[in-house]
Amino acid sequence: MNLFLVSVLLAAPMPAAERVIIDTDCGYFGDDGSTLVMLLRNEAVRVEAITIVSGNVWADDALRNAKEITRLAGHGEIPVYLGAELPLRHTLEMAEQEKRRWGPMEFRGAFGVPRPVAKEPLRRVAAVSEIIRRVERNPGQITIAGLGPLTNVALALRQRPDIAGKIRRMVFMGGQLRVKGNSTREAEFNFWFDPEAASAVLRSAIREKVMFGLDICNRAMLGKKGFDEIVKVETPVTKRFREDFGVRYPEFLKNPKAEVSLWDALVAAWMIQPRLFGRPEELYLDVETDFGPMYGKVKLAGRDAEPGAAPVSMMNNLNCAAVYALFRDLLREKR
Ligand code: RIB
Ligand code: CA
């Protein structure tokens, strides 16, 4: 390389880090925990806040988990705000009816465990008002990484529809189009838990919506070999990862044939290294909100179904080995 080129490269400004709010239903560690760690540990992204929603677990538990994991990853300074405890419409009673009438049901998340006694209601709005406040103050600057049901984002859009045009982009894990669901036969968990919220976000005017559904997630699997590579480096983060993925789900320490999707971690991998993914498919999408066996299923929508709606960029292809290597390296990092 000649000297001129070297000096030009050195003088070129680094692209500014993408400013992100992570909205998560964080379990004990799981894919949400891995995603938090990945997003906190790289230069491409600046995590400004974490907002919590019920999904995998009830919001109170998710709050505790996210705070603990953020601290283990060396970023205890990032603010974490409690958000919606309940979906917009879906209830435990409805979920039980669905199981009875249209089961089997693979995963129910928080709907499968007793709900903690409600605390004072004001704390619940913190996440929603923080999303609104931060987007309002920084129009076009803030990306939302949605790792759980989209209740908080839908509530923010409902309260302040004008923020749709001020969100830089929404990158989320949820839904599926051409493969079967993982909650009910027809629906993916995040969308099933709050179908009305998912529908509001897909039909919104947020200009860039990048979707990682089960169609791509089912091809990004972590197996025992990958698990072993991560846990052989012992750090506070990998210890918690080992405890969760080894003993709880998918039980790598008990069953060497176990495997699990990287799910939410694809959101982080794409934000950090988009070139590891193929071009998206641009589609107008919606979610079934009629209460029946299809509740929560993604469906194609007409271009004119919702005035002002922007299409969804559905991700379909990835370089699995490279995405796994990124995942492994960020989780094993000693900081
Ligand atoms: O369907 C996968 C989604 O639900 C992920 O967000 C994961 O955390 C799970 O609970
Ligand atoms: Ca999640």
Tell me if 173 CB under 6 Å of ligand 1: yes
What is the identity of the amino acid at 9? L
pLDDT at 143: 98
Tally of domains within the chain? 1
| Contact in structure between 160 and 36 (CB atoms under 8 Å) | no
Say which ligand is closest to the CA of 214: 1
Q: pLDDT tens digits, residue range 162-210?
A: 999 999 999 999 999 999 999 999 999 999 999 999 999 999 999 999 9
What pLDDT shows up at residue 6?
60
Q: How does pLDDT run across 140-169, given as a tens digit for each residue?
A: 999 999 999 999 999 999 999 999 999 999
Helix or strand run (H / E) with residue 210:
strand 209-212
Report the residue among 36, 56, 61 best suited for mutation to probe ligand 1: largest number of ligand atoms under 8 A from its CB: 56
Residue 235 lies in a domain: yes
pLDDT at residue 5, rounded to an integer: 59
Q: Residue 10 pLDDT > 80, yes or no? A: no
Structure tokens at 173: 């894990």
- What residues contact residue 100 under an 8 Å CB cut-off, 6+ apart? none
Please give the distance, rounded to the nearest whole angstrom, from the Cα atom of residue 264 to the centre of ligand 1: 7
Query: Cis peptide before 280, with omega less than 30 degrees from 0?
Result: no
Residue 194 in contact with ligand 1 by CB distance below 6 A = no
Q: Which atom of ligand 1 is nearest to the CA of 31?
A: 8
Q: Residue 53: inside a domain, yes or no?
A: yes
Residue 68 has pLDDT above 70, yes or no: yes
What are 33-49's pLDDT values in tens digits?
999 999 999 999 999 99
* pLDDT tens string 266-315: 999 999 999 999 999 999 999 999 999 999 999 999 888 788 889 999 99
**Closest residue by Cα to residue 243 from 257, 258, 227, 262:** 227
Q: Is the pLDDT of residue 121 over 60?
A: no
What number does the ligand 1 atom closest to the CA of 25 have?
8
Least confident of 23-37, 115-129, 200-214, 215-229: 115-129
Q: What is the CATH number of the domain that holds 25?
A: 3.90.245.10
**Ligand 1 touching residue 241 (CB < 6 A):** no
User: Which H or E run includes 245?
Assistant: none
> Three-class SS string for 37-48?
HHHHCCCCEEEE
Question: Is any ligand 1 atom within 6 A of the Cβ of residue 30?
Answer: yes
Confidence of residue 122 (pLDDT cuts 50, 70, 90): very low
Is 274 a member of any domain? yes
189 CA → ligand 1 middle, Å: 6
* Residue 246, domain member (yes or no): yes
Asked whether residue 224 carries a pLDDT value surpassing 90, the answer given is yes
Domain of residue 110: give its range: 17-332
Rounded to whole angstroms, how far apart are CA atoms 263 and 218? Answer: 8
Q: Is the CB of 288 under 6 A from ligand 1?
A: no
Domain membership flag for residue 11: no
Residue 2 falls inside a structural domain: no
Instruction: Please check whether residue 305 lies inside any domain of the structure.
Output: yes
Provide the whole-model pTM.
Answer: 0.94
Atom of ligand 1 nearest to the CA of 55: 10
Q: How confident is the model at residue 2 (pLDDT cuts 50, 70, 90)?
A: low
22 within some domain: yes
Question: How does the average pLDDT of the chain come out, rounded?
Answer: 94
Given the CA of residue 148, which atom of ligand 1 is nearest to it?
A: 6
